[in-house]
């Protein structure tokens, strides 16, 4: 008995499996024969019906196999179609050296065997196809992950009197969360950005790159032109974010993509922090006294509508004060039983400790203990800022 599969052109069959109980009979695995000249196999392939061929050594409908039939002393050949999802993918050839022909019962039994065989072959092919596609996708996503990682700053800027910390753990190989920290203008100022692009996966990652690149370019451009007095910082920040918002809203409105954003600017030798909260989770400000404040949104998320009002805010930070901004992947992180980490627990953890590192360490430890064993659903990102002296 031999199992043969059609090639991609469907003009020949290749024996992929062979069994014989005749001692000394040669193995024909790997034998490939054209359908042209083998009308019996062609009939089975075209009709999906079995056929029994008597006088297989001389019958004209098996002329391309006559030499094989003679060598194997085959007198009768039964050919059964391998049907998968309504299509013929190959055949099973069952030779006989007996003078007796195959009965209807033999044909029905052979069809049952062929159906099971076809299912196995089809599933194996599907598995290989899916595996190849998955391997390609994983390679592409890994490349995307490496590229996206390059968009996160390799080193955080050092501004005298300030310390910046940041962390990000994507839920997938690519994601929509991002942070940035960059020197502005003459190097006396630093910009800190935390954003969360709506949705997840590749689409969010592409827009993450767009948002991040636009914000960085606009902020550098705006602050290179100078700001004069400190009060002008908020206006310049709003201008940079506004240009980014308008570009995306005017040029990519059909994508319906937006980002919540927290952007801040600090200066060397000054206690003032200017910021914009555009629809983002309220960052936590912890005073050295233990008092906790929340920086609630004063503007809408960016990217959906042009010319949205952008209202800059400012606050004074004294030595030891800490500001931590985070994405909703922190508060929404779920345990194995589906319980969210929650905003209250975030605030409670950040209120403890006596330094930025201690507070972020407590948050990280508690968060990953909470989600241990559960699948990470969303990107987890935060940035922290503290006034070290002033």
Lowest mean pLDDT among 230-234, 279-283, 291-295: 230-234
Which range has highest mean pLDDT (25-39, 196-210, 279-293)?
279-293
> Which residues fall within 8 angstroms of residue 275, CB to CB, at 6 or more apart?
237, 262, 263, 264, 265, 295, 312, 313, 314, 315
- Which of 21-30, 148-157, 213-222, 362-371 is predicted least confidently? 21-30
Q: Name the pLDDT band for 366 (thresholds 50, 70, 90).
A: very high
Given pLDDT bands bounded at 50, 70 and 90, which one contains residue 24? low
Question: How would residue 4 be classed by pLDDT, with cut points 50, 70 and 90?
Answer: confident
Mean pLDDT of 33-52: 86
Give the span between the Cα atoms of 173 and 205, in whole angstroms. Answer: 10
Q: What are phi and psi of 202, to 5 degrees?
A: -65, -45
**What integer is the mean pLDDT of 164-190?**
86
Give the contacts of 75 (CB within 8 A, at least 6 positions apart): 54, 55, 56, 57, 96, 97, 98, 99
Residue 227 has pLDDT above 60, yes or no: no
User: Tell me, what's the pLDDT at 187?
Assistant: 75
pLDDT (0 to 100) of residue 23: 59
Q: List Cα–Cα distances, 30 to 17, 35, 275, in angstroms.
A: 8, 16, 72
| CB of 310 closer than 8 Å to CB of 236 | no
Which stretches of 5-150 are DSSP H helices? 39-47, 66-71, 104-149
Q: With pLDDT > 70 as the criterion, what percentage of the chain qualifies?
A: 92
Number of Cβ atoms within 10 Å of the Cβ of 5 = 18
- Decide if pLDDT at 206 tops 50: yes
| DSSP states along 9-34 | TSSEEEEEEE---STTPPP-TT-EEE
Model confidence band, residue 127 (pLDDT cutoffs 50, 70, 90): confident
Alpha carbons 190 and 268: distance in angstroms, whole number: 8
pLDDT digits (tens, 9 = 90+) for 282-309: 999 999 988 999 999 999 999 999 999 9
Most confident segment among 144-153, 196-205, 221-230, 260-269: 260-269
Q: Band of the pLDDT at 357, cuts 50, 70, 90? A: very high
Mean pLDDT over 121-148 rounds to 74
Supply the pLDDT for residue 334. 94
Looking at the predicted structure, is the pLDDT value of residue 190 above 70?
yes
In this predicted structure, what is the pLDDT of residue 29?
76
Taking 80 as the threshold, does the pLDDT of residue 72 lie above it?
A: no
**Mean pLDDT value across residues 368-387:** 92
In the predicted model, is pLDDT for residue 231 greater than 50? no
What pLDDT does residue 145 have? Answer: 63
DSSP-derived secondary structure letter, 226: -
Query: Does 313 score more than 60 pLDDT?
Result: yes
Domains (range + CATH), the chain: 2-132 (3.30.450.40), 151-387 (3.60.40.10)
Contacts of 103 (CB under 8 A, 6+ apart): none
Mean of pLDDT values over 210-215: 92
Q: Residue 176: what pLDDT?
A: 83
274 or 72, which is more confident?
274
- Give the span between the Cα atoms of 111 and 239, in whole angstroms: 75
pLDDT-derived band at 230, boundaries 50, 70, 90: very low
pLDDT of residue 34: 83
Identify the H or E element spanning 62: none
Question: Could you say which DSSP state residue 146 is in?
Answer: H
* Mean pLDDT rounded to a whole number for the chain: 86
Q: What is the pLDDT of residue 315?
A: 95
Count the Cβ atoms, other than its own, within 10 Å of residue 208: 24
């Amino acid at each position: 008995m031999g199992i043969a599969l059609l090639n991609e052109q469907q003009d020949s069959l290749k024996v992929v499996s062979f069994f014989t109980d005749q001692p000394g009979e040669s193995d024909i695995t790997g034998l490939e024969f054209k359908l042209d000249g083998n009308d019996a196999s062609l009939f089975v392939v075209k009709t999906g019906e079995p056929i029994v061929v008597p006088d297989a050594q001389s019958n004209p409908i098996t002329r391309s196999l006559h030499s094989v039939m003679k060598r194997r002393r085959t007198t009768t050949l039964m050919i059964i179609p391998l049907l998968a999802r309504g299509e013929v993918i190959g055949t099973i050839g069952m030779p006989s050296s007996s003078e007796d022909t195959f009965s209807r019962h033999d044909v029905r039994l052979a069809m049952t065997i062929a159906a099971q065989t076809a299912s196995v072959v089809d599933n194996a092919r599907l598995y290989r196809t899916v595996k190849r596609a998955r391997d390609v996708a994983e390679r592409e996503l890994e490349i995307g992950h490496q590229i996206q990682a390059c968009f996160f700053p390799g080193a955080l800027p050092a501004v005298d009197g300030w310390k910046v910390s940041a962390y990000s753990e994507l839920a997938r190989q690519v994601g929509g969360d991002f942070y940035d920290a960059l020197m502005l203008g003459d190097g006396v100022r630093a910009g800190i950005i935390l954003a969360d692009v709506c949705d997840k996966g590749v689409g969010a990652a592409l827009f993450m790159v767009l948002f991040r690149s636009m914000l960085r370019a606009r902020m550098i451009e705006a602050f290179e032109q100078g700001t004069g007095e400190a009060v002008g910082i908020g206006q310049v920040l709003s201008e940079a974010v506004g240009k980014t918002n308008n570009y995306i809203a005017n040029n990519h409105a059909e994508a319906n993509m937006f980002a919540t954003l927290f952007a801040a600017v600090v200066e060397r030798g000054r206690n003032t922090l200017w910021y914009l909260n555009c629809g983002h989770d309220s960052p936590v400000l912890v005073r050295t006294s233990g008092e906790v404040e929340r920086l609630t949104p004063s503007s809408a998320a960016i990217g959906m509508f042009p010319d949205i009002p952008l209202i800059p805010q400012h606050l004074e930070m004294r030595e030891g004060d800490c500001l931590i901004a985070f994405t909703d992947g922190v508060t929404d992180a779920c345990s194995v039983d589906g319980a969210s980490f929650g905003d209250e627990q975030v605030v409670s953890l950040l209120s403890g400790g006596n330094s930025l590192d201690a507070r972020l360490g407590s948050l990280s430890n508690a968060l990953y203990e909470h989600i241990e064993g559960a699948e990470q659903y969303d990107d987890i990102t935060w940035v922290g800022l503290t006034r070290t002296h002033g």
